[in-house]
């Protein structure tokens, strides 16, 4: 077994992905990439997290708490998995 295969097995067994970013709010691995304009990010995300990784569920929770709509500003929605990568095309974007 070569080193590359050993590393893959170790990463699988211990669920280690050294490249994956961790949300600084909830501490979970961040599988989704998205963009909103800076002015929306700054209104929704508390100052202490503004220059940190914030996952989409945490971002959505902050927007809910502050009751700020962001659906129409949402773009570049990607799922970045360990094995596959998807770019989402937004068909509909509505605020609750």
Determine the Cα–Cα distance for residues 86 and 96; give it in Å rounded to an integer.
Answer: 25
Q: Which is nearer to Zn ion, 43 or 61 (CB)?
A: 61
Q: Which of 36, 58, 63, 70 binds Zn ion (CB under 5 A)?
A: 58
44 forms part of the interface with Zn ion (CB under 5 A): no
Compute the least distance from the CB of residue 31 to Zn ion, in Å: 11
Q: Copy the structure tokens of residue 24.
A: 């600084």
- Residue of 43, 79, 82 whose CA lies nearest to 59: 43
Q: Which is nearer to Zn ion, 1 or 48 (CB)?
A: 48
CA dihedral 29, 40, 76, 83 (to 10 degrees): 0
Compute the least distance from the CB of residue 42 to Zn ion, in Å: 18
């Amino acid at each position: 077994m070569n080193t590359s295969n050993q590393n893959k097995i170790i990463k699988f067994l211990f669920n280690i992905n050294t490249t994956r970013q961790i949300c600084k709010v909830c501490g979970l691995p961040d599988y989704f990439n998205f963009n909103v304009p800076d002015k929306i990010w700054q209104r929704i995300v508390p100052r202490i997290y503004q220059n940190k990784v914030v996952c989409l569920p945490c971002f959505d929770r902050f927007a809910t708490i502050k009751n700020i709509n962001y659906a129409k500003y949402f773009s570049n929605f990607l799922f970045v998995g360990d094995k596959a990568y998807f770019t989402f095309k937004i068909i509909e974007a509505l605020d609750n």
